[in-house]
Amino acid sequence: MIKPNAMLEPMDMPNPYFPIKVHRCKANQYGQIMFSNHWHKHIEFLYFISGKAAIECNSFEYIVQSGELLVMNSNDLHAGVSLSDDLFYYAIILDPSLVQSHAMDAVETKFITPIKENLILFNNKIENDTHIKNCMLSIVRELDNQELGYELSIKSHLFAILTLLLRGYVAQILTFNDHKARMINLERFTPILEYIETNFHKELTVELLADKAGLSRFHFSRLFKELTGKSVTDYVNNTRIRRAEYLLRNTLLTISEIALTVGYRDIYYFSRIFKKYKDVPPSQMQKAVSKSCSRRGCESTCHD
């Protein structure tokens, strides 16, 4: 059985007494994996400055681009792939304890504690909200400059963001039992997803994965679909084809070599599966990429 919580990302903070940080993230290749499936107990905001990306959160995929925002609730299972050569975004990560109060007042009881305990879940994708966007950018500036009182300013912006999210973007309110059941599934299955991410080129059967999870084939398949929104076969194929597309766009490997690299021994079967997920056969995508590079004069470097 795989070790539990293998995909629980550790989260160090520059200042443990003020647990918030910002990362400036970029990707300069289409198909580049921004981050593989993982989860953490912190809340994360992704604000996109340029480019385009596909972010999978729990069982949903979101296409996001410049000016859009994603909210990752505590314990959301998420992964990301760049859909452009000029992706740049801010990742603001905070421990919910930052906005907690030692006094159990109405604010703490009604809002902060349920958010911290993951009972109030917000919509993942937020569009066209200038107020939230301005708060995000203000937090980035305050963390950069760290002028006197920056902590007060950041907390005020965080409370403003939470107020806006509570008023307009609540996706779900869970009971304690709902949350407990969700966490049991998350802790049991994220190591399986980690195994798939690192062993996608090998033969991966439902029986093998169910055995690693310590579950029957039927029970495993049902819970896997409930967590990811995909069957095991669909999830494995999607993982392989995502890697194959990256190799098509960024290497000089032949289609046969790519098929073998991502776990398909039959090139014809690989081509059918690739077309199913990407709407075009791999040969057509490879030709399109080559033509694009030739027009830009990057034939010698774009596949490095």
User: Which strands, in side-by-side order, build the sheet including 125-126?
Assistant: 20-27, 87-94, 43-50, 69-72, 125-126
Every domain of the chain and the residues it spans: 20-172, 235-289
List, run by run, the mean pLDDT of 10-residue segments along the chain (304 residues).
52 87 94 90 95 92 94 92 95 92 78 88 94 96 96 97 95 84 83 91 94 93 87 93 92 94 95 93 85 50 29
Q: Where are the alpha helices (DSSP H) in 84-148?
A: 106-107, 113-116, 130-145
Determine the Cα–Cα distance for residues 249 and 35; give it in Å rounded to an integer. 18
Partners of residue 46 on adjacent β-strands: 70, 91
- Report residue 65 as tokens: 């681009």
- pTM (2 d.p.): 0.76
Residue 131 · residue 160 · CB < 8 Å: yes
Q: What's the CATH fold of domain 20-172?
A: Jelly Rolls (2.60.120)
pLDDT of 298 reads 47
Q: What's the CATH fold of domain 235-289?
A: Arc Repressor Mutant, subunit A (1.10.10)
